Homo-oligomer: A and B are copies of this chain.
């Protein structure tokens, strides 16, 4: 479409500034203490902010990462003559998990049907198909599986008609409650406990001040804004940087942004801080993963283990994404407890960036 001969590279790539920060210390599902995490972003203050979070959590014993769930979904839209038939056919269909899996298996050796959920609205059927997709984020795998399943379903239940292969009850790259409640992507909880002294030393704040701000900003502020299953400061920033650096489909930060922080002062006076990210849609294979810098980054993160069982590399990647988000949250919230710090930090860092 563009034919300029002079500088093909410049024309064909957006070059997003990228840096690695760390080291991160993770415990639980992932066990490491020297992880350098790459993020690509135009917002240069993000790196030192996340780095500060990495530093304090490293000193505090690390970030515990736990994978609560993993699945990828596609919702197909069918239509029945009326709700009674819609109910009868979907109930019958949901009893035939093995038959459905047999069809799915034709489309991919990795896709495993985990569950189905149905919403019936009038005579419309929103059939949400949920899969395990190995190390792929699975966008295409589930579309392909749905593409196989639809003709089979229509053949088995001839009263049903096709409406769409994708019906927004999946839902991909759009705000929803369904993704958090029924699951889409990796659901990862990241937790850390920061001793009061480290809180003061690295974050320039107290556990009480940070918890107070979290309640008034992340929780109440999000509620008054008319938020939806979202209680954080800027998770989208960290996910964007991480997703771009690791070849992910970064439009999935939309649902990724619906993360929930929970913080409290422990009986010992320390800070318990957690970020729960129900919708990390990431993979280590598939679109974008073949680029050299992506391969380098996945290797740097230890997510290219050829001997791992299917899905293990992607789980690790999700845990690291979550931990990165937690560090950015911790750091920004700490900054906002202190009047003026946020702006001063921005100005200083950007002036540094400008002078580079």
A234: which B residues are within 8 A, CB to CB? 172-174, 251
A222: which B residues are within 8 A, CB to CB? 168, 171, 174, 176, 223
B15 & A1 in contact (Cβ 8 Å cutoff): no
* Copies of this chain in its oligomeric complex: 4
A250: which B residues are within 8 A, CB to CB? 42, 240, 250
* 8 Å CB interface, A223-239 against B: 223-234, 236-237, 239
B19 & A1 in contact (Cβ 8 Å cutoff): yes
B227 & A168 in contact (Cβ 8 Å cutoff): yes
In-complex Cβ contact of A175 among B14, B165, B175 (8 A): B175
B215 & A168 in contact (Cβ 8 Å cutoff): no
B43 & A66 in contact (Cβ 8 Å cutoff): no
Bound Cα distance from A323 to B150, whole angstroms: 32
Bound Cα distance from A228 to B175, whole angstroms: 6
Number of A residues with CB within 8 Å of any CB on chain B: 131
A221: which B residues are within 8 A, CB to CB? 75, 77, 126, 167-169, 171
A178 & B175 in contact (Cβ 8 Å cutoff): no
Q: With A236-B251, A346-B143 in contact, is A257–B173 under 8 Å at CB?
A: yes
Whole-angstrom distance between the Cβ of A202 and the nearest chain B Cβ? 17
A51: which B residues are within 8 A, CB to CB? 1
In-complex Cβ contact of A229 among B36, B224, B296 (8 A): B224
Cβ of A151 under 8 Å from chain B: yes
Show the binding face of A for B, using Cβ within 8 Å: 1-3, 10-22, 28, 36, 38, 40, 42-44, 47, 51, 64, 66, 68, 75, 77, 82-84, 86-87, 117, 119-124, 126, 140, 143-144, 147, 150-151, 162-182, 187, 189, 191, 212-213, 215-234, 236-237, 239-240, 244-245, 247-251, 253-254, 257-258, 260, 262, 272, 274, 276, 287-288, 291-294, 296, 336-337, 339-340, 342-343, 346-347, 350
**CB pairs A–B below 8 angstroms (28 shown):** A1-B19, A1-B22, A1-B47, A1-B51, A2-B20, A13-B18, A13-B40, A43-B288, A66-B86, A68-B83, A68-B120, A120-B276, A122-B189, A122-B191, A123-B262, A126-B221, A140-B346, A143-B342, A147-B343, A163-B213, A163-B216, A164-B337, A168-B222, A173-B257, A178-B181, A223-B231, A236-B254, A253-B254
